Amino acid sequence: MPQVVRTDSDNLNTQIVLTITKDDYEPKFKSELNKYKNKVSMKGFRKGKTPTALIKKMYGKRLLVDVINEMVQNEIFSFIKEEDLNTIGQPIPALDQPEVDFSVNELKDMEFRFDLGLAPQFELKGVDKGTSFDFKKVQIEDAFLTEQVEAGRKRVGERAQMTEDIEGNDVVKLNVNELDGKKVKKDGWAASFSILVDEIADEEVKKEILTKKAGDKVTVNVFQLEKDRDADFVRKNMLNVQENDGEVEIGEMFEATIEEVNRIQLAELNQEFFDKYMGPGKVSSVEEMKEMIKADYVAHYDKQADALMFRDFNEMLLEKNELPLPDDFLKRWLKTSEQNVRDADVEEGYDEFAKSLRWSLIRGELIKKFNLEVTDDEVFEGIKEQVRGMFKQYGMADADELIVLNTANRMAEDKEQMNKVYGEMMNEKVFKTIKGEITLNETPISRDDFDTLLQEERAKAEAAQAAAQAQSIVNTEAEEVEAEEVE
């Protein structure tokens, strides 16, 4: 019977020495030879009658390697399970692994040495009432809610053509003709487009249009009419220049005739409006409408605040639980786990990898400490919620449940998708658990300040990602230069 001996270098590194004698594997090897003999067909011999010696000569080494590999895998992982070793990564051949002789003509005892990394043992710190965090609670002002109600009235309202005055919220349709000096250019470019008066970037033009009415004319620089529009956008979307028009030269100044003025008539604040905008029977007054809108925004901002807090939780727990890792082993394992991995790649990415690994160990301890679990039924319900969310994005908020169920069943067949949803739901349970165990100090913050904070955080993340990509490019180029010098 194979023998396994474990020798610990320290608390994080151990070596397993597996000895397999000839008697351990010879019966299995002979059995595999006979199986192969019975199914192989070789020229000059009937099927199953090829001499064993010839089978051994031609296929024996490959069969022996397969037999030994299977035995090694079974013995090593059985030992890890029996010893209840909390390993990190997978066993890798030891640096002092002796050469193995796979001679089929003289079967010998074999010795295999594997290095293993062990997870550090630790007592979780930081998840108690002595730890406090500020929770940013976004304040939804009544003035903002009033704006949302008015925006709803505009969205549901009907358009009406105006003939007298023009207001900032009006959409004006302009017929434009290219100018040559102060006169319309003969055979010059002509086009039509519509624009919201309030979006006109040229303040002088906007001010002038607000004094006009349908049928009046104004002089405009089309390329400066809207903010943040480049020349290509103006030529394509406002002047309607087509690809087959080629590189036609068009001036900047145009005479614009106000052909139409369209104004949205605000919907009346009645049940018809409430049902159309908020959903049938959902609200029956402005106050109820505001409360429903507020609840949606509170849920949205709370989710954003939770995401920021979860990140802070990670950093706090990583700081309070300084977990040592078998770094040398892990770097070797990373190199052996993928092909063509360079030492520079491992070194460059190791700190982030180690940080992620430490968090995984802490997360695992949280799951064990609080007996957290996500059932298959919960995962499936999570997939159904994703499906409902997808339908809602496409304007199908009330999608038939049978369609939702069928779509979810198809998605559930994807094991990767199931694992992803499981991970997200477990993270949610971990976060809620931490949130319930520590002390939260709710701190009010305005929407503008919170949006600014989110923008700053996104900018930091994008800058960090760009820096990492730049460093990777520099490293690659440096290695290419080095390789050229060697050549």
Is pLDDT above 50 for 486? no
Residue 123 has a CB neighbour count (10 Å cut-off) of: 7
**Residue 197 and residue 167 in contact, taking contact as beta carbons nearer than 8 Å:** yes
- Residue 164's pLDDT band (cuts 50, 70, 90): confident
At 148, is the secondary structure helix, strand, or coil? helix
pLDDT band at 467 (very low <50, low <70, confident <90, very high): low
pLDDT of residue 470: 60
- Local structure of residue 199 (DSSP, 8 states): G
- Checking if the pLDDT of 124 tops 60, the result is yes
CA distances from 466 to 344, 345, 349, 472, 479 (A): 18, 17, 14, 10, 20
Tens of pLDDT, residue by residue over 166-221, are 988 889 999 999 999 989 999 899 999 999 898 898 899 999 999 999 999 999 99
pLDDT for res 8? 92
The answer to whether 366 touches 433, Cβ cutoff 8 Å, is: yes
Q: How many CB atoms lie within 10 A of CB 28?
A: 16
Comparing C-alpha atoms, which of 31, 65, 29, 35 is closest to residue 50?
35
Least confident of 176-190, 384-398, 414-428, 462-476: 462-476
Q: Pick the residue with more confidence: 482 or 475?
A: 475
Residue ranges of alpha helices (H) inside 157-285 are 203-209, 231-233, 271-278
Long-range contact list for 447-451, CB < 8 A, 24+ apart?
447/138, 447/139, 447/140, 447/141, 447/144, 447/301, 450/136, 450/138, 450/301, 450/304, 450/305
Q: What is the pLDDT of residue 399?
A: 65
- Whether pTM exceeds 0.75: no
Beta bridge partners of 264: 159
Higher pLDDT, 472 or 197: 197
The pLDDT, as a whole number, for residue 408 is 87
Average pLDDT over residues 350-360: 92
Looking at residue 230, its pLDDT comes to 86
More confident residue, 298 or 346: 298
Give residue 46's pLDDT. Answer: 67
Query: What are the C-alpha distances in Å from 467 to residues 66, 386, 455, 473?
Result: 46, 33, 18, 10
Q: pLDDT at position 94, please?
A: 92
Angstrom distance (rounded) from CA 383 to CA 379? 6
Which residues have C-beta within 8 Å of that of residue 285, sequence separation ≥ 6?
Answer: 274
